[in-house]
Amino acid sequence: MNTQNNTDSFLENYQSSKPAKTSKKEFVLSDEIMALGAEIIGEKRIDVYPAKIGYVLVSPNISKTIPAKCLRTSKELKFFSNLDYVIEVSDEIWTALDKESRKILLEHELRHILVLQNDKTGDWLFKIRQHDIQDFSKVISDYGIEWRKKIKLCLSSLYDLTPAEEDSIQI
Ligand SMILES: [Zn+2]
């Protein structure tokens, strides 16, 4: 009898003394971000044809230092989703940003898409474009570099980041 009670209270103590668990991530397809993505691709004439792109909102965030990211789909993910790329966006910062900053962040992620075609076979190749200088030069010439500071500040105040964590922000 007593043993059972002890076990229960041990478990209770054990659970309550555990550090806050890493919160579970939720993934939701976002029509809103997809519509904004399509708008940017049209406005900025970003060449993504014929890539199929999925837009996913990750709650509460991808991580505290990753506001958004662009990934190529693995063979398996492509098989199940029929997508060539997935753009993930961290929900909390997305909610905190104004429309202008959202657009720049999304444009930045779209510019990671690099579609090539094999000359001989005509097959499409879906790659990730690395940043030219530290940002894409097109984004810098259109918006300067202030947008990155704004996103860093926003993440920093949302999550109370240390300077070291601020330096590790990846955009
Ligand atoms: Zn980037």
CA of 133 from ligand 1 middle (Å) equals 11
Domain presence at residue 3: no
Residue 108 forms part of a structural domain: yes
Per-residue pLDDT of the chain (171 residues; tens, 9 = 90+): 444 555 555 555 545 555 455 679 999 999 999 999 999 999 999 999 999 999 999 999 999 999 999 999 999 999 999 999 999 999 999 999 999 999 999 999 999 999 999 999 999 999 999 887 767 888 888 988 889 899 999 999 999 999 999 989 998
Give the residue carrying structure tokens 């919160």.
23
Instruction: Tell me the sheet residues that pair with 117.
Output: 124
Q: Rounded to whole angstroms, how far apart are CA atoms 118 and 7?
A: 64
Number of domains comprising the chain: 1
Q: Is residue 16 part of a domain?
A: no
Note whether residue 117 is domain-resident. yes
Distance 114 CA to ligand 1 centre (A): 13
Domain with residue 78: its CATH number is 3.30.2010.10
For residue 141, the CA-to-ligand 1 centroid distance in Å is 16
Is 60 contained in some domain? yes
Q: Is residue 11 part of a domain?
A: no
Query: Ligand 1 mean position to 111 CA, how many Å?
Result: 8
Q: State the distance from the centre of ligand 1 to the C-alpha of 123, rounded, in angstroms.
A: 26
Q: How far is the CA of 125 from the centre of ligand 1 (A)?
A: 20
Residue 160 burial class via C-beta count within 10 angstroms: exposed 0-12, middle 13-18, buried 19 and up: exposed
Q: What is the pLDDT at residue 157?
A: 94
Whether residue 9 is contained in a domain is answered as no
| Per-residue pLDDT, 26 | 97
CA of 139 to the centre of ligand 1 (A): 11
CB 66 within 8 A of CB 170: yes
Among the listed residues 171, 115, 111, 167, the one whose alpha carbon sits nearest the alpha carbon of residue 137: 111
**pTM > 0.85:** no
Domain coverage including residue 70: 23-166
Residue 97, domain member (yes or no)? yes
